Amino acid sequence: MRWTEIKNDPCSNARSLSIIGDRWTMLIIRNAFMGTRRFDAFQSQLDVTRHLLTDRLNSLVEDDIINKVPYQTQPTRYEYRLTSKGLELFPVLMALMKWGDKWTVDEQGVPFEYVDRATGQRIEPVLIDGNSGESLEVHKVAMRSGPGVDAELDNETFRPR
């Protein structure tokens, strides 16, 4: 399958990656969560070309992850703000951060710590089942086809190895 066709895959992971699966896109989203809103700030923080940044921001606007909001009229300038859809990517970033803190840090330790705003205590992201409140672990989870999948995959169950 070609990358341009992945948005048509019957898997939600594949469809999601067609929107946010680019490294620059995820870094733009990360910086938006850190409070970055203006083009020049994104560009200087990420050291990305104007063309590439424009392309990624336009895609995020098109996919309703970020809104483009004017803040100045002469000349017109815009801020980029996360939408509700974009804000729902927060757990994705936290999960990636947790994985990266475990598997990619050097002897100096984690580069950033996320803390509770009220208490200042370091947070520890955990993935839980919203129905039971239990932590999700790979050996407890299976995947089966849902109503949005082709009939040929119906009633198949996929178990992580």
- Residue 64 φ then ψ, to 5°: 60, 35
Classify residue 80: in a domain, yes or no.
yes
Classify residue 35: in a domain, yes or no.
yes
Amino acid identity, position 91:
P
Classify residue 152: in a domain, yes or no.
no
Residue 31's domain is classified under what CATH number?
1.10.10.10
Amino acid identity, position 53:
L
List, for residues 60-87, the tens digit of each pLDDT value.
999 999 999 999 999 999 999 999 999 9
pLDDT of 136 > 80? The answer is yes
Which residue is listed with tokens 């050996």? Answer: 139
Classify residue 56: in a domain, yes or no.
yes
The total number of structural domains in the chain stands at 1
List, for residues 39-49, the tens digit of each pLDDT value.
999 999 999 99
Instruction: Give the integer Cα–Cα distance in Å for 14 and 6.
Output: 6
What is the pLDDT confidence band of residue 151, given thresholds at 50, 70 and 90? low
Classify residue 112: in a domain, yes or no.
no
List, for residues 4-23, the tens digit of each pLDDT value.
676 766 677 888 888 888 88
Give 80's strand partners: 68
Instruction: Give the integer Cα–Cα distance in Å for 108 and 116.
Output: 23
Classify residue 121: in a domain, yes or no.
no
Q: Which of 114, 24, 44, 38 lies closest to 81, judged by CA?
A: 38
Classify residue 136: in a domain, yes or no.
no
The domain of 54 spans 1-88
Instruction: Give the integer Cα–Cα distance in Å for 100 and 110.
Output: 9
Greater model confidence, 154 or 28: 28
Q: Which of 117, 128, 126 lies closest to 98, judged by CA?
A: 126
